[in-house]
Amino acid sequence: MAAPLAKIGIISIGDMGVGIAKLLVANGFSVATNANGRSNDTLERAKSAQVELLDSDEALVRQCAVILSVVPPRDAVATAQRIADALSISGRDNDDNNNNNNTPLYFADLNAVSPSTVKRIAALFDSREDGLPAPVPAPVRFVDGSILGGPPKPKPVDAGADATGSSTQWSLPHIPTSGPHQLSAIPVFGPRLAATLNARHISGAIGAASGLKMCFGGLSKGLTAIAVQSFATAARLGVLGELRAELGAVLPRHLELAERGVVGMAPKAYRWAGEMEEVACTLAEEGGFDPDTFVGAAKTYRLVADDTVLGREKVGKRVRGTTVEDVADAVAEGLRTKRKKND
């Protein structure tokens, strides 16, 4: 078996992280994660994707050439701080992977955060404005990135190979990146890594890739939040069937998108609440708009996650909310229960 092209660290191994891990392994990379304190479900996902389980962030930064941060928006800053702290403690001494203190670690933040948040994250690794040394002693090259679309998934084919040389074709999200550093510029394996991830560098400015994600997420997940409210209200009025019929007749594409979004939303609602808050921040700070629209969307997803049975749903283990009717009923019931508690 050929030696892996490079070891890539992923934090963390959720639905998206495990999809990226499987894609990288299938294309000649090895993947590692910090497994310390992780749940049994996470450990099993990691093992199924052939992810090496390390016991600390220090081990992760010593052994990996690139670290991809793929966490809920609320954890993005803390995750970057963890890596900065690990570098301060351990450095990047010589090890079996030939990393050393002169080899830059690439840290790519691929999370759904606003431009202002990603700039805070970049500052953890960048030089200080006064010219003094950065807080992280080891060299780090920061990449602002985002993920547009669902997790990578294999699509077996009868014969032949895809553009990356794999005998399996993949359904891939788009990964725009920005900032002064590019994944494709990493010596030796960078072009292969960028091609495998379907990464495209769109700007030299940190904040551009994250800003694109915020505008994209505002349209896609914003529509789903509106649909949750409309379908649940229609159900309480007894006109959900009529609403869907009219949408199907007049706006069939809207109905298709709304139904698919609402049914797939439940296991991700806790993440999407934070993303909508970051969208609200982006549209206020960068666009000059009032944030109320997407603050409201965040509240809708937080209601689903915290006050309905749908908040217990897991990707791949769905029980409730697999139909529009059940989502509407569960949300309406959650609202009734919440109002009773508050009365």
Structure confidence by residue, pLDDT tens digits, 253-304: 999 999 999 999 999 999 999 999 999 999 999 999 999 999 999 999 999 9
CATH code of the domain occupying 7-206: 3.40.50.720
What pLDDT does residue 103 have? 75
pTM of the model: 0.89
CB neighbour burial string for 50-85, b if at least 16 within 10 angstroms, e if fewer: ebbebeebbbbbbbbbbbbbbbbbbbbbebbebbbb
Q: How many residues does the chain have?
A: 343
**What band does 68 get if pLDDT is binned at 50, 70 and 90?**
very high
**What band does 134 get if pLDDT is binned at 50, 70 and 90?**
low
What pLDDT does residue 9 have? 98
Average pLDDT, the chain: 90
CA distances from 1 to 5, 7, 28, 321 (A): 12, 16, 10, 44
Answer yes or no: same fold for 7-206 and 210-342: no
d(CA 230, CA 253): 16
Reduced to 3 states (helix: H, G, I; strand: E, B; else coil), residue 204 is: coil
* Percent residues over pLDDT 70 in the chain: 90
Q: What is the mean pLDDT of residues 34-40?
A: 90
Q: What is the mean pLDDT of residues 120-125?
A: 94
Which CATH superfamily does the domain covering 210-342 fall into? N-(1-d-carboxylethyl)-l-norvaline Dehydrogenase; domain 2 (1.10.1040.10)
What pLDDT does residue 98 have? 43
Domain boundaries, the chain: 7-206, 210-342
Residues 258 and 223 sit within 8 Å (Cβ to Cβ): yes
Tell me whether residue 226 is exposed, middle or buried, using C-beta atoms within 10 angstroms of its C-beta: 0 to 12, 13 to 18, 19 or more: middle
CA 134 to chain centre: 27
What pLDDT does residue 193 have? 98
- Give the pair of three-digit tokens for residue 8: 């890539």
What pLDDT does residue 158 have? 56
Q: What is the mean pLDDT of residues 224-252?
A: 97
What pLDDT does residue 159 have? 45
Give per-residue pLDDT as tens, 182-235: 999 999 999 999 999 999 999 999 999 999 999 999 999 999 999 999 999 999
CA distances from 218 to 262, 282, 317 (A): 15, 10, 27
* Percent residues over pLDDT 90 in the chain: 79
What pLDDT does residue 95 have? 45
